[in-house]
Amino acid sequence: MVTQVVGLQWGDEGKGKIVDLIARKYDIVVRSQGGHNAGHTVVVGGKKYSLHLIPSGVLNPDAVNIIANGVVVYPPQLISEMEKFGDTLKGKLFISNRAHMILDHHIAIDKAREKLRGKRAIGTTGRGIGPAYADKIARVGVRMGELKNVPKLLEKLEHYYQMNAGYFKFLGISLPNLRELEDKLYHWKQKLEEMIIDTSHYLWENLDRNILLEGAQATLLDIDHGTYPYVTSSNTIASGALTGCGIPPRYLDSVIGVAKAYTTRVGNGPFPTEEVGVWGDKLREQGHEFGTTTGRPRRCGWLDLKAVEYGIHLNGCDQLAIMKLDVLDGFPQVKVGIGYRKNGEELNYFPFDLEGVEPIYQTFPGWEGSSGVTRWEELPRNAQKYLEFIEDQLEVKISYISTGPQREATIIR
Ligand code: IMP
């Protein structure tokens, strides 16, 4: 059985907690896209784990974890994450030989281009994601499998740097010292080589087992379907996960869409239900809404049902997980965006252009005391009504409700 967990908003929905929660039922957990721009915080046994590249399934001692072909891998980050887990990863982590590599110059280009964009900056995580994917699409990228032959890889990179010397100069980026680069490549080869395999082949051989595809970033950051250009550079939706790991589409059995009970966004770009005043600040404080990867304060606002519905259509979700319900405890009223108004006209769908779009809200009375609740019957009635409304509007069953950061603070229906 193949299950996909996908974010329905602008990321940071709490996918890591859902993956961790259900990973025990899965034999293999796969990351298919994105890179160390992602950040999952998972709390297990009171201990907090921040993961960026390694799939959250690593916290399940029996699961095999795969970093598949669609991921862009920054080897120093991967090595430092692996060190947290010591020897326990032996035979439990594999990296696709087809996954592209992020090198230091991608990070330097990302930062330099953001600076040049000025007020048009995307607000990237500065991890080199866009430039690495750009090289992949331009067919000049380098892949993890190429670490097997360092002299050949170095020669290829030397040519790449020669071809791009003018561009590097324009951006004020120095060309790498090839001697130092060679040392790094050999170090990465030594640390990673035995884990680099043909992961598509591995997955085909294991299609009869339980496979969990762990999404990174989220639907509204998808390069094709998100709020372009304020998006990431990969296909974050369920179909992108399949391209990103080589599993044929007909094997996908279930898609769990994950949304917060409200909305957040890091980086720039439109956000119709954003609350910039006291309510936004309260959401940020109660929800500890600061980026796992960059520490940036997240922009906060109310749940936008039309945005979530758009995500459900794109991903074909058959189940929903509503996260961080407890963060809404203590609000006198809770609002939900149910549509938009633009130039006096009502829109009943998530539009191409969000410029000048005003949300239409439905307001619900607030509640106290959902924090830590593990049974539906114990939820405050107003919280139940809020969730019933969401389920009714979206016409997809809410299977999981998260009421706190711990694995246990979850209602499973
Ligand atoms: P990039 O992926 O670093 O190029 O950043 C592009 C946009 O995606 C920026 O708005 C980032 O803040 C956002 N982004 C990238 N990764 C994540 C994530 O894991 N969670 C939330 N936002 C993200």
CA of 283 to the centre of ligand 1 (A): 20
Percent of the chain with pLDDT over 90: 88
Nearest atom within ligand 1 for CA of residue 127: 3
Characterize 1-38 residue by residue with b for buried, 16 or more Cβ atoms within 10 angstroms of its Cβ, and e for exposed: ebbbbbbbbbbbbbbbbbbbbbbeebbbbbbbbbbbbb
Instruction: Give the model's pLDDT for residue 40.
Output: 79
Instruction: Give the model's pLDDT for residue 56.
Output: 83
pLDDT surpasses 90 at 42: no
pLDDT surpasses 80 at 48: no
Active-site hit among 40, 52, 100, 105: 40
* Residue 395 backbone dihedrals phi, psi, to 5 degrees: 55, 35
Q: Are strands 64-67 and 40-44 parallel, antiparallel or unpaired?
A: unpaired
Alpha carbons 401 and 413: distance in angstroms, whole number: 8
Shortest-distance Cα residue to atom 9 of ligand 1: 124
Instruction: Give the model's pLDDT for residue 236.
Output: 98
What does pLDDT average to over the chain?
95
What is the arithmetic mean of pLDDT over 251-257? Answer: 98
Query: Between 214 and 23, where is the model more confident?
Result: 214
Nearest atom within ligand 1 for CA of residue 266: 12
Shortest-distance Cα residue to atom 2 of ligand 1: 232
CA of 230 to the centre of ligand 1 (A): 9
CA of 357 to the centre of ligand 1 (A): 23
pLDDT surpasses 80 at 45: no
pLDDT surpasses 80 at 47: no
* pLDDT tens-place string over residues 62-93: 899 999 999 999 999 999 999 988 888 889 99
What is the arithmetic mean of pLDDT over 97-112? Answer: 98
Amino acid at 344: G
- Give the pLDDT band (50/70/90) at residue 284: very high
- Give the pLDDT band (50/70/90) at residue 44: low
Query: Between 356 and 294, where is the model more confident?
Result: 356
CA of 35 to the centre of ligand 1 (A): 10
Shortest-distance Cα residue to atom 8 of ligand 1: 232
- Give the pLDDT band (50/70/90) at residue 20: confident
pLDDT surpasses 80 at 302: yes
Question: Could you tell which of 111, 124, 268, 293 is best to mutate to test the pocket of ligand 1, judged by most ligand atoms within 8 Å of the CB?
Answer: 124
Confirm whether 40 is a catalytic residue.
yes
Chain-centroid distance, C-alpha 48: 18
Alpha carbons 272 and 400: distance in angstroms, whole number: 26
Domains in the chain with CATH codes: 2-75+201-412 (3.90.170.10), 100-195 (1.10.300.10)
- Give the pLDDT band (50/70/90) at residue 24: confident
Instruction: Give the model's pLDDT for residue 295.
Output: 84
Burial class for 411, CB neighbours closer than 10 Å (0-12, 13-18, 19+): buried
Alpha carbons 15 and 257: distance in angstroms, whole number: 9
Task: From 183, 171, 159, select the one nearest 107 (Cα to Cα).
Answer: 171
Q: What are the pocket residues of ligand 1 if the criterion is a CB atom closer than 6 Å to any ligand atom? A: 10-12, 37-39, 122-125, 127, 129-130, 216-217, 221, 230, 232-233, 266-267
CA of 126 to the centre of ligand 1 (A): 9
* pLDDT tens-place string over residues 158-186: 999 999 999 999 999 999 999 999 999 99
Confirm whether 288 is a catalytic residue.
no
Shortest-distance Cα residue to atom 21 of ligand 1: 11
Instruction: Give the model's pLDDT for residue 60.
Output: 82
Q: Say which residues have a Cβ less than 8 Å from residue 3's Cβ, sequence separation at least 6.
A: 22, 26, 210, 211, 212, 213, 253, 254, 255, 256
What is the arithmetic mean of pLDDT over 213-231? Answer: 97
Q: What is the pTM (predicted TM-score) of this model?
A: 0.95
